[in-house]
Every structure is written in C-alpha cells, then in structure tokens.
Amino acid sequence: MELEVAYPSVAAVGLGCWLGQVFGRLSEIENTPLRVLALLLTGAVLAPLAAGVYFWTKLSVPCYVLTTHSIQARQLVGRRPASPAVRLEAIEEIELVTPPGAVFHRAAHLILQGEDHRPLMQLSGISCADRFRHSILRAREARLRSDEALRQIQSRIGP
C-alpha cells in the first residue's frame, strides 16, 4: 500500500542547483527595489533555461514511493521501477545532504543507509526533505513493530 509519493524538485539536477545558487545570491541583496529588479531581470533572462530544467527533471528523474514495506524509485513516465526497491527493515539511518543551491528550492538529497553506513539509495532533490525523512522513519518503525508482533503471535500458535 502506498503511503506517500515524493516528487523531485529541480534541485535534483546540477543545473537546477546552479539556478538556485544564482537566485539565492540575488535574494541576499539588501536594497529591496534593487533586489526585486535584479530578480525580475535575471528571471526574464533565465526563464527558458529554468523551464527546460523543470521539464527535463520531470522526464528524467524518478519519483520516490514510500509503501508499507519499501521505498521505490519510479519513472514518472510509464510508472515503471527505476531501481530496485529498498525494504524499510534494511534502513538504519537517513542522511540529509543539502547541496549548494538546493536551499533556494527548499530541497535536499536523502541518502538511505544500511548496516555499516552503506548507502542503499539516494533520493535526489526532495522538497521538504526533513518531513519525508520523518515519514520514512515512522513507516520503518511501524514495519518493525508489526513484524515483531507477528513473530510473537506465530510463536504462541506454534508451527
């Protein structure tokens, strides 16, 4: 059963992070009228590039589906799996990595780690990544508790 789907932002690709760096720097201009003018002019010049990056991201970067058993990367076009699913029980830790430029997009990468901090999967450019990380950890905890309860029931019933 699907619990949640996380769609990648443009921060999932290098060019999207570069755009985030450019607009992030412009947002730091202290003079409000100058900042607005700089953002409007730069936005007008970079709009075609930004639109191209957006559509490229939607076509090439998978979305991430959290189910009651695993996390799956699926292509947006065709909904077919992009990589093998990672079972929730295999996840020991989730590292949040914010590349330069992703802050502007309010996005980050999540790196799912297994035993010995071995990377299992990277979820690139996730908006509100901390919230999705929390959802994964809660689903993992529920899966572990459910499995433990089933083991206890099976031990009472016997073979």
**Average pLDDT of the chain?**
90
Q: pLDDT tens, 96-122?
A: 999 998 998 999 999 999 988 899 999
Q: Compute, in degrees rounded to 10, the torsion defined by CA atoms 29, 34, 35, 36.
A: 170
| This prediction's pTM | 0.84
Calculated CA dihedral for residues 28, 34, 40, 43, nearest 10 degrees? -40
Band of residue 158 on the pLDDT scale cut at 50, 70, 90: low
For 131, the token pair is 């919230």
Q: Token digits for 22? A: 């450019």
pLDDT of 58: 85
Cβ neighbours for 17, distance < 8 A, ≥ 6 positions apart: 11, 99, 100, 101, 102
Domains of the chain: 2-157 (2.30.29.30)
Give residue-wise pLDDT tens across range 67-103: 999 999 998 776 777 788 999 999 999 999 999 989 9
